[in-house]
Amino acid sequence: MKAADLAKAGCAAVDSRQRSDRYVVVNGIRLHYVEAGTGPAVVLLHGFPEFWYSWRHQIPALAEAGFRVIALDLRGYNESEKPLGRRPYGIETLTDDVLGIIRAECGGRCAVVGHDWGGAIAWHLAMHHPKAVEKLVVLNAPHPYCFFRELKTLAQLRKSWYMLFFQLPRLPELLLRAGDFAWLSHVLRTDPVRPDAFTEADIACYKQALAQPGAMTAAINYYRALFRRNPFALRRQIRPIGAPTLLIWGERDRYLGLDLVKGLEPWVPNIRVERITEASHWVQMDAPERVNHLIIDFLRCSRARGEAADSSG
């Protein structure tokens, strides 16, 4: 089967009859998202180097559970606009994109679920725009306080070497595109615990998204923008998070150590941590049924508690 046919087959894993492709202009940029289901809104934020399709196992499950799912292509990815340069990819700008989606499409408040870079944006959103986040779910993305703390250790520095490599101009793009994105194929075939976490059709779909003009550089510019910020200024921006929070962590993450889930309570007092032993960084692909159950149960229970508190008040 040709690569284009494989990609088409992969993206069809989320039935096109049960989802809609939408476009919206917020924060001065045109963003694409996939929508499915009806009910309370849940915004899904993918990580590097993915796009909305990262949530292919969660979208139908959440929709069936009675939620309206909005799975975003973050700026620079897939069908969303790709501004030039590194400045448009600062964490505040990325957060404002999601805030714009929530205000435009979700009545100003909803549940937010983020993985990897999407998780980093979700943490920042819940800190600085608490009224917009009803509930927070983060998958294998460290809270910024823990990340800065662990970056001082040799163990985490070794795991984060690629972030330093991404600071080089042009070379990362050249190497990552080489051999028809051979690095991506290798990572998605060897990183997960479950051998079939990414099918050949899935990998073709990811390649097709990254091959779009400007997408590879945009994805790497997330890291370039982050590392050009004053770390002391970023640390000063850390605020406590009051929203009910669920942190799901695949323990066999090659890039993020287990110590990153420790010491969160002072910053996120209403947090529940669920560690999945047989899952990697790609936790929602390694353990989709477990992740779906955790997310749906958490969203339903926290909503019930919130409604009970409102009625008693």
Are residues 279 and 286 in contact, defined by beta-carbon separation less than 8 angstroms? yes
Catalytic residues: 116, 223, 281
> What is the C-alpha separation between 56 and 43, in angstroms, rounded?
14
Residue 18: pLDDT above 90?
no
Q: Reduce the DSSP state of residue 201 to 3 states and report it.
A: helix
In this prediction, residue 6 has a pLDDT band, given cuts at 50, 70 and 90, of: low
CA angle 133/275/294 to nearest 5° reads 50
Tell me, what's the pLDDT at 156? 95
Tell me, what's the pLDDT at 9? 53
Quickly count: other Cβ atoms within 10 Å of residue 212's Cβ: 16
Residue 237: pLDDT above 90?
no
Nearest to 251 by CA among 204, 286, 293: 286
Residue spans per domain, the chain? 3-308
- pLDDT tens column, 44-57: 999 999 999 999 99
Residue 312: pLDDT above 70?
no
Structure tokens of 158?
Answer: 């070794």
| Farthest CA pair distance, the chain | 61
Superfamily classification of domain 3-308: Alpha/Beta hydrolase fold, catalytic domain (3.40.50.1820)
